[in-house]
Amino acid sequence: MSTTLTQQRKFGTAPVFFTAISTILGAIMFLRFGWAVGNVGFIGTLAIILIGHAVTIPTAMAIAEIATNQKVEGGGEYYIISRSFGLVIGSSIGIALYFSQAISVAFYIIAFSEAFTSLFDFLLATYEFHPTIEYLLSLKQTVSIPALFLLTAIVLTKGADLGVKMLYIVVAILFLALVAFFVGQTDYGMNNTFDPFRNLADLGGTPQSFFLVFAVIFPAFTGMTAGVGLSGDLKNPGRSIPMGTLAGTISGMVIYFFITYKLAVSASPTDLADTDQLVMANIAWQGWWLIPVGLAAATISSALGSIMVAPRTLQAIARDHLIPSNRLNIWLSRGRGKGDDPFNATLITVAVAFVFVLIGGLNAVAGIISMFFMVTYGSLCLISFLQHFAADPSYRPTFKSRWWLSLFGAVACFGLMFFMNAGYAILALLFMTLTYLGVSYFNPDKKNLAVIFQGVIFQISRQLQVFLQKTEKEQTASWRPSVVCISEHSFDRLAAFDFLRWLSQKYGFGTYIHKIDGYLSKSTKAEANKAQKRLIQMAESSGSNIYIDTLISPSYTSAIAQVIQLPGISGTDNNLLMLEYSKHNPENLKDIVDNFKLVRSVNFDVVILGSSERSFGLKQSIHLWITSRDFKNATLMILLAYIILGHRDWRKGYIKIFAVFQEGTADDERNRLFGLIETGQLPISPNNVEIIIRKEAGEIRSIVNEKSIDADLTIIGFNDELLKHDGAKVFEGYDRTGNTVFVNAGEQKSIK
């Protein structure tokens, strides 16, 4: 940012306070607060004030906290939310916030026109007008539309500087109106005893329900963040925003307490509940003109604050290039003058406000903006709570709220939305969901995990890991794979990567380690980072649930030793090591065999994948080969096959078991195998089992090559003694099969 632009930031704390307090003490105070006291009584209205501020005070404290930790740029609340939640989520809330601010302009302009109702009634009763003029005088748009355009002209030609100067004038008028109200006397007040519980029902009327009154009154408390939108024009946002916002919020609450009491002691519930009269004008000294002038001042100041804030929010969104059209982003982001005033964004804001001014319904417009403001306040409280929970050392605000207060504020915001108006709440959330989907679609490059979410996930993960480690595990007979795979050929041969992602999709957990040969150095570390990014992209594009990592090691033995000591990513210990080699060029097979004893020292199950050029073919047929020596491996082989079939890539797959026995033991082994099937230990239909009589000891390989020549995956067991005796020859001779998996179980598994 240029020095010239920085120098233009000359506003202090006062504009923040006055913008907030003038928005808080606005239209609802003059037009609906007496109605609230009449319907629910003094005590009920105090409850509404307290419940409303149970939302606004935590929000004000959250804003104060966040603003004293980070530099708040233009856009105010949007800047805070988008820099905490990330641009995509932040813009979804920010766009909703912008519309609430833009519609607020219409809301306050409509309320401003209410100040002229008594004048028009007096003119119509005193003078005779042409019917057309009489009709125009009955329309609020006669005042609201010219007022909107006049206010727009002031802001566009003079900028925020003049807007703030006008703010001081209207706040002074508002102050005089309130003084006149508090010093006013009525016959009712002098002749009746104050009853804090008296309401419309005591006089035979039918009062409105508490939450309906709350829904109408709540917008009176939603102005405390109005000054945050001036963040881009403040000399010291970190100081001015918390001081001005908190001062405005607390001052507004105190004033509302006194206003409630004054209304309750000065007029009957029937008069207070009458929305056709400006009750405060009947109570105030010289109220017939001071209160309408105060109403006009309050509403025009609120409209002025909104028309200064809303365009700056839209300008900040456009400067983040989050609107689908790049030309529109450029056009809306442009500022004019030394203060970088958002001229083009103001034009759009006025157009939105104009539409809602034509609608003209004060209560309907109030309901809409309340929903969006509640979402904004809830988001700000949630940011504060998540920052406390994430425990980021870079989060060091000079003003500190309490995590439980922020959490309460967030829950209260989202809960009260549905109490106020469930239909509006659903529509607001639906609008933001659609906005999120649209922004995500047009800005895929901006989708990322925000730092605040990363911190929260880290904390949850740490707590779970510590809890699992400290908790005594219940022994169970069920088994699930927690696989760690290591390979140097991740980008040459994808078979191991695919096999691991199938095992890890639903039932298992997988960690894929890409080994880089060499010693740790700057160059090998850079190579490792590059490889990890490529593998993460592969995992993301294939929709896998694999955890990716890299390992730099000068030898295969040291790499294996490190890998088998890695903690499991799921909180459970790793229990299966997966290795791979190429059947066409088995250059690393000797290393696998030489290190098998090291792996068995930790009692891991071992899977060794021999990949072929045919790979996994059509991903349909899985052949399992079981011999009399493989009953310890058999259940593990079947479990792995069934887990693989659970993946969508193998949705048309099936398993076939070949049981190979010597001629003399065939009957006993057949009975043993079918006994397992019948008792449910092997969930395989006998129709899928083929018994093969082996006559010669060396005949097994030729039988496998013949029967499984078209299999997409062949699974074969091997045992420790055979590997110790024959070495790498155990894996040789299966040249006609496709990808072949050799399985060695540390101990026999049971299938429930």
Alpha-carbon distance values, 745 to 133, 429, 596, 730 (Å): 95, 52, 12, 16
How confident is the model at residue 734, as a pLDDT?
A: 92
Residue whose tokens read 């098998």: 596
SS3 488: coil
Asked if pLDDT for residue 732 goes beyond 70, the answer is yes
Provide, rounded to the nearest whole percent, the portion of the chain with pLDDT above 70: 85
62 close to 401: Cβ distance less than 8 angstroms? yes
Tell me: the pLDDT tens digits for 25-55? 878 888 888 889 988 899 999 999 999 888 8
Asked if pLDDT for residue 1 goes beyond 50, the answer is no
How confident is the model at residue 362, as a pLDDT?
A: 64
More confident: 447 or 646: 646
Query: In the predicted model, what is the mean pLDDT of residues 492-504?
Result: 92
Asked if pLDDT for residue 627 goes beyond 70, the answer is yes
How confident is the model at residue 711, as a pLDDT?
A: 94
The candidate with the shortest Cα–Cα distance to 107, out of 308, 419, 366, 321, is: 366
Domain assignments of the chain as residue spans, ordered by start: 3-446, 480-608, 612-752
How confident is the model at residue 308, as a pLDDT?
A: 80
Alpha-carbon distance values, 637 to 484, 573, 622, 741 (Å): 17, 20, 11, 9
Q: What is the DSSP string of 675-694?
A: HHHHTTSS---GGGEEEEEE
Note whether 3-446 and 612-752 share their fold.
no
Asked if pLDDT for residue 631 goes beyond 50, the answer is yes
Distance between CA atoms of residues 240 and 17, nearest Å? 8
Distance between CA atoms of residues 252 and 674, nearest Å? 82
Which of 213-217, 431-435, 557-561 reaches the highest mean pLDDT?
557-561
Residue 746: φ, ψ to 5°: -65, -35
User: What mean pLDDT value characterizes the chain?
Assistant: 82
Tell me: the pLDDT tens digits for 653-710? 888 888 887 776 667 767 776 766 665 555 566 777 888 887 665 578 888 999 999 9
**pLDDT class of 97 with cuts at 50, 70, 90:** confident
Tokens of 136: 């125009």
How confident is the model at residue 4, as a pLDDT?
A: 42
Residue whose tokens read 């504020």: 409
Give CA 532 to chain center in angstroms.
Answer: 26
Asked if pLDDT for residue 599 goes beyond 70, the answer is yes
357 close to 109: Cβ distance less than 8 angstroms? yes
Query: In the predicted model, what is the mean pLDDT of residues 583-612?
Result: 91
Q: What is the DSSP string of 283-326?
A: HSTTHHHHHHHHHHHHHHHHHHHHHHHHHHHHHHHHHTT-SS-H
How confident is the model at residue 475, as a pLDDT?
A: 59
How confident is the model at residue 30, as a pLDDT?
A: 87
Taking each helix axis as running N to C, give the angle between helix 33-67 and helix 237-266, from 0 to 180 degrees, rounded to the nearest 10. Answer: 160
738 close to 608: Cβ distance less than 8 angstroms? no
How confident is the model at residue 697, as a pLDDT?
A: 56
Tell me: the pLDDT tens digits for 151-163? 777 777 765 555 5
Q: How does 418-452 read in b/e, with b if 16+ C-beta sit within 10 Å?
A: ebbbeebbeebbebbeebbebbeeebeebeeebbb
Query: In the predicted model, what is the mean pLDDT of residues 424-430?
Result: 85
**pLDDT class of 137 with cuts at 50, 70, 90:** very low
Residue whose tokens read 């020095």: 3
∠ CA(662), CA(663), CA(664), 5° rounding? 95
Question: Position 670: which residue type?
Answer: R
Asked if pLDDT for residue 620 goes beyond 70, the answer is yes
Which of 80-84, 202-206, 348-352, 681-685 reaches the highest mean pLDDT?
348-352
In CATH terms, the fold of domain 480-608 is Rossmann fold (3.40.50)
Distance between CA atoms of residues 579 and 596, nearest Å? 10
Superfamily of domain 612-752 in CATH is HUPs (3.40.50.620)
How confident is the model at residue 234, as a pLDDT?
A: 73
Which of 124-133, 280-289, 552-561 reaches the highest mean pLDDT?
552-561
Asked if pLDDT for residue 452 goes beyond 60, the answer is yes
SS3 542: coil
How confident is the model at residue 3, as a pLDDT?
A: 43
Residue 643: φ, ψ to 5°: -65, -40
Distance between CA atoms of residues 35 and 259, nearest Å? 12
Distance between CA atoms of residues 506 and 503, nearest Å? 7
Asked if pLDDT for residue 121 goes beyond 60, the answer is yes
Alpha-carbon distance values, 516 to 493, 527, 557 (Å): 15, 8, 13
Alpha-carbon distance values, 571 to 464, 550, 574 (Å): 8, 20, 9
Residue whose tokens read 């519930």: 269
DSSP state of 444: G
Q: Where are the alpha helices (DSSP H) in 323-361?
A: 326-333, 343-359
- As a residue count, the chain comes to 752
Distance between CA atoms of residues 660 and 690, nearest Å? 9
The candidate with the shortest Cα–Cα distance to 397, out of 545, 249, 211, 238, is: 238
Helix count and strand count (H, E) for the chain? 29, 10
Tell me: the pLDDT tens digits for 518-550? 999 999 999 999 999 999 999 888 888 899 999
More confident: 259 or 91: 259
- From 143-147, 291-295, 385-389, 499-503, the region with the lowest mean pLDDT: 143-147
- From 20-29, 392-401, 641-650, the region with the lowest mean pLDDT: 392-401
Tell me: the pLDDT tens digits for 247-267? 888 999 999 999 999 999 998
In sequence order, the 6+-apart residues with CB closer than 8 A to the CB of 166 are 154, 301, 304
**pLDDT class of 7 with cuts at 50, 70, 90:** very low
Query: In the predicted model, what is the mean pLDDT of residues 89-98?
Result: 84
312 close to 93: Cβ distance less than 8 angstroms? no
CA atoms within 13 A on the CB side of 715: 27
SS3 611: strand
Distance between CA atoms of residues 628 and 264, nearest Å? 93
Distance between CA atoms of residues 405 and 381, nearest Å? 8
Tell me: the pLDDT tens digits for 171-196? 788 889 999 999 998 888 888 888 88
In sequence order, the 6+-apart residues with CB closer than 8 A to the CB of 520 are 552
Taking each helix axis as running N to C, give the angle between helix 13-24 and helix 237-266, from 0 to 180 degrees, rounded to the nearest 10. Answer: 30
Alpha-carbon distance values, 663 to 692, 693, 696 (Å): 9, 6, 9
How confident is the model at residue 141, as a pLDDT?
A: 65
DSSP state of 229: G
Tell me: the pLDDT tens digits for 12-24? 788 788 878 877 8
How confident is the model at residue 499, as a pLDDT?
A: 95
CATH of 3-446, one of 1.20.1740.10, 1.10.10.10, 1.10.287.610, 1.10.4190.10: 1.20.1740.10
